[in-house]
Structure 1
Amino acid sequence: MRDIDMPVRASVLRGLSALVTGAGGRGPELLAAYGFDEAKIVEGNSFVSLRVVERLLEEAADRFALPDLGLKMAAQQDLHMLGPLAIAMENSRTIGEAVGCAGRYLFVYSPAVSLEEIEDPLGSPGAIGLRYASTTMNASPQTIDYGIGIVHRVLKLINGGAPYGLRSVQLPHARLAPEKAYRDYFGAEVRFDCPSVVLRVTSQLCSMPVSGGNDLLRDIAIGYLDTHFGHKGVPISDLVAAVLSEHLGSGGPDLSKVARLLSLHPRSLQRSLAEEGTTFTGVVDRVRRSQALDLITTTDLSFSQIAARLGMHEQSSLTRAVRRWFDTSPSGLRRAGQEPKGRSALIDDKAETHFTSDAL
Structure 2
Amino acid sequence: MSVIRSAGLRGFRAEVESLGGDAEDLAARAGLPVAALDADDVLVPDTAMAGVLELAAAELGRPDLGLRVAARQDLSLLGPLALAIENSPTVADALECTSRYLFVHAPAMRISAEPDPDGVPGVEALRYDVAPPGVAPPRQGTDLSLGSLHRSIRALVGGTYGLRSVDLPYSPLAPVAVYEEFFGVRVRFGRPAARLRLPSSLGSLPLTGRDETVRRLALDFLSRQRPADDQPDDDTDDRPFTHQVRGAVRQLLDSSAPDVVSVARLFGLHPRTLQRRLAAEGSTFAEVLDEARRAAAHRLLVGTDLPLAQVARSVGFAEQAVLTRACRRWFDQTPTRVRAGGQGA
Q: Between Structure 1 and Structure 2, how many residues are aligned?
A: 287
Give the equivalent residue in structure 2 for 1:351. 314
Cα distance change of structure 1 residues 245 and 93 upon mapping to structure 2, 3 Å threshold:
closer
Does the Cα contact within 8 Å between 1:52 and 1:261 map onto a contact in 2? no
Match of 1:55 among 51, 63, 70: 51
Q: Which of 11, 17, 32 is the equivalent residue of 1:15?
A: 11
The residue that corresponds to 2:151 in the other structure is 153
Q: CA deviation at 1:168?
A: 0.3
2:199 alignment partner in structure 1: 202
The 5-angstrom pairing of residues 271-350 of structure 1 reads 271-274=276-279, 275=281, 277-279=283-285, 344-350=307-313
Aligned identity (percent) is: 37
Question: Which has the larger displacement, 53-62 or 224-233?
Answer: 224-233
Normalization by structure 2: what TM-score?
0.74
How far apart are the structure 2 equivalents of 1:344 and 1:259? 32
1:125–1:280 CA distance, 2 compared to 1 (3 A): same
Inter-CA distance 25–226: structure 2 relative to 1 (3 Å threshold): same
* In 2, Cα distance between equivalents of 1:142 and 1:77: 15
Q: Which structure is richer in relative contact order (CA contacts within 8 A, separation 6 or more)? A: 1
What corresponds to 1:81 in structure 2?
Answer: 77
Q: Specify whether residues 245 and 23 from structure 1 end up closer, same or farther in structure 2 by C-alpha distance, changes over 3 A only.
A: farther
Partner of 1:262: 267
Distance of aligned partners of 1:353 and 1:277 in 2 relative to their CA distance in 1, 3 Å threshold: farther
* CA apart distance, 1:148: 0.8
Give the letter aligned to residue 67 of structure 2.
Answer: L
Aligned to 2:124: 128
Distance 1:95 1:240 in 2: 33
Counterpart CA distance in 2 for 1:124 and 1:211 is: 29
Structure 1 residues 15, 280: CA separation in 2 closer, same or farther (over 3 Å shift)?
Answer: farther
* Unpaired stretches in structure 1, ≥5 consecutive residues: 288-342, 355-360
Mapping for residues 35-54 of structure 1, pairs under 5 Å:
35-54=31-50
Partner Cα separation in structure 2 for residue 63 and residue 36 of structure 1 = 17
How many angstroms does 1:261 deviate by? 6.1
Question: Equivalents in 2 of 1:229, 1:237: separation in Å?
Answer: 10
Between 58-67 and 268-277, the greater mean CA deviation after superposition? 268-277
1:64 aligned partner: 60
Task: Tell me what 1:219 maps to.
Answer: 216
User: What's 2:244 paired with?
Assistant: 235
Contact 1:9 1:45 in 2 (8 A): yes
Deviation, structure 1 residue 245: 11
Cα displacement (A) at 1:61: 0.7
* Secondary structure of residue in 1 paired with 2:277: helix
Larger Rg: 1
Distance 1:216 1:258, change over 3 A: closer
TM-superposed CA distance for 1:266, in Å, is: 5.9
Q: Deviations over 1:173-220 (max 9, x none)?
A: 100111221112111110000000110001111111112112222122
Q: Deviations over 1:110-150 (max 9, x none)?
A: 11011111000101111011111114322211111111112
1:33 pairs with 2:38 = no
Structure 2: 5+ residue stretches without partners? 229-234, 238-242, 294-305, 318-345
Superposition deviation, residue 262 in structure 1: 3.1
Change in CA separation of 1:227 and 1:241 when aligned onto 2, cut-off 3 Å: closer
The TM-score, its normalising length taken from structure 1, stands at 0.71
Aligned equivalents of 2:222 and 2:288: distance in 1? 27
1:203 and 1:244 mapped to 2: Cα distance? 41
Cα gap change, 1:183 to 1:95, in 2 (>3 Å):
same
Q: Displacement of 1:264 after TM fit?
A: 4.1
**RMSD of aligned alpha carbons:** 3.2
Matched, 1:96 2:105: no
- For the residue of structure 2 that corresponds to 1:228, the secondary structure is coil
